C-alpha cells in the first residue's frame, strides 16, 4: 500500500511539475498559415493561445484573422507574424498592452528553416525541450544529401507556376541531387514556366502541387493545353498536396523523404532516361 501511495504521489508531483512548467511558458498566437505550421511544430500545446483561420487541420484552439484588434482581444504574450504583416506598425501599442510581436522571415531553404525553428523555440521557452528533435531532423536531412540521381525535376502548379532559383524548392531539389528544371529554364524565385520552353525542354520528373484542389478553368488553362496535358500523361510524376511544402519550414524534411521514396519506387535513373 505504501508503495502504491508513493508511486501515486510521485506521479502527482510529476504532473504538477509539468503543468507548472507549461504555465511558466509564454502564451503564443500565430497570425497566418506559415506561423501556424511553425508554432504547432515547436510549441507546448498548453502555450498556444490561437492559430490563424488558414490552418486546416483539426485543433482545439481559438482562431484569428491576424488583425491587431484580435490580438488585443486574445492577449497572448507573443504573436508570431511574418514579413509584410500590416499590423507591425502597431508594435509599440501592442507591446504597451503586453503583446510582443515576433517577426519571422520566410525561409529560403532547409538551413533557414532549421535556424528559424531554433531561434523561435528559444523565444517561446522551448529551446532545451526541442534541441534533441531538431538535432535528429538535421542529421536525417544530412543523410538525404545527394540520395537521388541528377534527374531534371520541375515543380508545377495548375496555372504554370513553379519555383526557380532562390526558393526552398530549388534548395531541396539540389540537396537531394535533383536538377531544378525551373532554374534551368530561367525561372528566378516564384515564377511561371514559359509554356513553349516546357514543351521544348521537358523535365525527367514532374512534382505536381495543388492539383488536388480543383482549380477553376481559368486557373488551370495552362495544364489543360493539349500538348501540356499530353506531357503530363507521358512524364513520370509525383503529386504533393498543396500544403505539403507548407512555407518551407520543418515540413521540408517530410517532403524530402517522400520524394526520395517515390523516385525510388518509380525506378528512375538518369542514365536510363531517353
CATH code (residue 40): 3.40.50.1980
Minimal CA–CA distance to 41: which of 252, 261, 182, 250?
A: 250
Q: Is the pLDDT of residue 2 over 50?
A: no
Q: Are residues 160 and 268 in the same domain?
A: yes
Q: Are residues 97 and 169 in the same domain?
A: no
213 versus 90: which is more confidently predicted? 90
Q: Are residues 164 and 84 in the same domain?
A: no
Q: Are residues 92 and 161 in the same domain?
A: no
Q: Is the pLDDT of residue 194 over 50?
A: yes
Element containing residue 112 per DSSP (H, E): helix 110-123
Element containing residue 100 per DSSP (H, E): strand 100-104
- The whole domain housing 32 covers 2-104
Domain boundary among 74, 104, 134: 104
93 versus 124: which is more confidently predicted? 124
Domain boundary among 104, 136, 161: 104
pLDDT single digits (tens) 16-70: 444 445 568 999 999 999 999 999 999 999 999 999 999 989 999 999 999 999 9
Q: Are residues 63 and 172 in the same domain?
A: no
Q: Are residues 99 and 165 in the same domain?
A: no
State the pTM of this model: 0.86
Assess contact for 76 and 49: CB atoms under 8 A.
yes
208 domain residue, yes or no: yes
124 domain residue, yes or no: no
Overall number of domains in the chain? 2
202, 253, 262, 216 alpha-carbon torsion, rounded to 10°: -60
pLDDT single digits (tens) 103-160: 999 999 999 999 999 999 999 999 999 999 999 999 999 999 999 999 999 999 999 9
Helix (H/G/I), strand (E/B), else coil: 236: coil
Helix (H/G/I), strand (E/B), else coil: 273: coil
117 domain residue, yes or no: no
265 domain residue, yes or no: yes
Assess contact for 68 and 97: CB atoms under 8 A.
no
pLDDT single digits (tens) 217-271: 667 788 889 999 999 999 999 999 878 887 999 999 999 999 999 999 999 876 5
Q: Are residues 163 and 262 in the same domain?
A: yes
**What is the pLDDT confidence band of residue 1, given thresholds at 50, 70 and 90?**
very low
CA distances from 231 to 152, 194, 219, 228, 235 (A): 15, 14, 18, 5, 6
115 domain residue, yes or no: no
Q: Is the pLDDT of residue 77 over 50?
A: yes
Question: Residue 120 has what pLDDT?
Answer: 98
Domain boundary among 40, 72, 104: 104
Average pLDDT of the chain is: 89
**What is the pLDDT confidence band of residue 8, given thresholds at 50, 70 and 90?**
very low
CA distances from 69 to 29, 78, 90, 102 (A): 13, 15, 10, 17
202 vs 109: CA distance, rounded Å: 25
Assess contact for 207 and 240: CB atoms under 8 A.
yes
Q: Are residues 176 and 263 in the same domain?
A: yes
Q: Are residues 11 and 97 in the same domain?
A: yes
Q: Are residues 247 and 159 in the same domain?
A: yes
φ, ψ (nearest 5 deg) of residue 251: -65, -10
Amino acid at each position: 500500500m505504501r508503495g502504491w501511495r508513493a508511486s501515486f504521489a510521485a506521479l502527482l508531483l510529476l504532473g504538477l511539475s509539468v503543468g507548472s512548467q507549461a504555465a511558466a511558458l509564454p502564451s503564443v498566437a500565430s497570425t497566418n498559415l506559415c506561423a501556424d505550421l511553425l508554432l504547432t511544430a515547436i510549441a507546448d500545446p498548453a502555450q498556444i493561445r490561437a492559430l490563424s483561420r488558414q490552418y486546416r487541420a483539426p485543433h482545439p484552439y481559438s482562431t484569428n484573422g491576424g488583425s491587431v484588434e484580435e490580438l488585443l482581444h486574445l492577449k497572448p504574450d507573443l504573436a508570431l507574424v511574418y514579413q509584410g504583416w500590416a499590423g507591425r506598425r502597431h508594435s509599440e501599442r501592442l507591446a504597451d498592452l503586453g503583446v510582443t510581436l515576433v517577426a519571422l522571415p520566410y525561409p529560403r531553404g532547409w538551413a533557414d528553416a532549421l535556424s528559424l525553428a531554433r531561434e523561435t523555440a528559444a523565444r517561446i521557452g522551448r529551446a532545451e525541450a526541442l534541441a534533441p528533435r531538431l538535432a535528429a531532423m538535421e542529421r536525417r536531412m544530412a543523410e538525404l544529401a545527394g540520395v537521388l540521381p541528377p534527374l531534371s525535376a520541375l515543380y508545377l502548379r495548375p496555372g504554370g507556376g513553379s519555383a526557380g532559383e532562390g526558393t526552398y524548392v530549388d534548395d531541396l531539389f539540389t540537396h537531394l541531387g535533383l536538377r531544378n528544371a525551373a532554374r534551368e529554364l530561367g525561372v528566378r524565385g516564384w515564377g511561371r514556366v514559359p509554356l513553349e520552353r516546357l514543351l521544348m525542354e521537358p523535365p525527367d520528373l514532374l512534382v505536381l502541387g495543388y492539383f488536388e484542389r480543383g482549380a477553376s478553368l481559368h486557373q488551370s488553362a495552362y495544364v489543360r493545353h493539349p500538348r501540356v496535358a499530353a506531357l503530363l500523361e507521358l512524364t513520370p510524376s509525383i503529386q504533393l498536396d498543396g500544403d505539403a511544402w507548407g512555407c518551407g519550414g520543418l515540413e521540408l524534411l517530410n517532403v524530402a523523404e517522400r520524394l526520395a521514396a517515390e523516385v525510388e519506387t518509380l525506378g528512375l535513373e538518369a542514365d536510363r532516361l531517353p
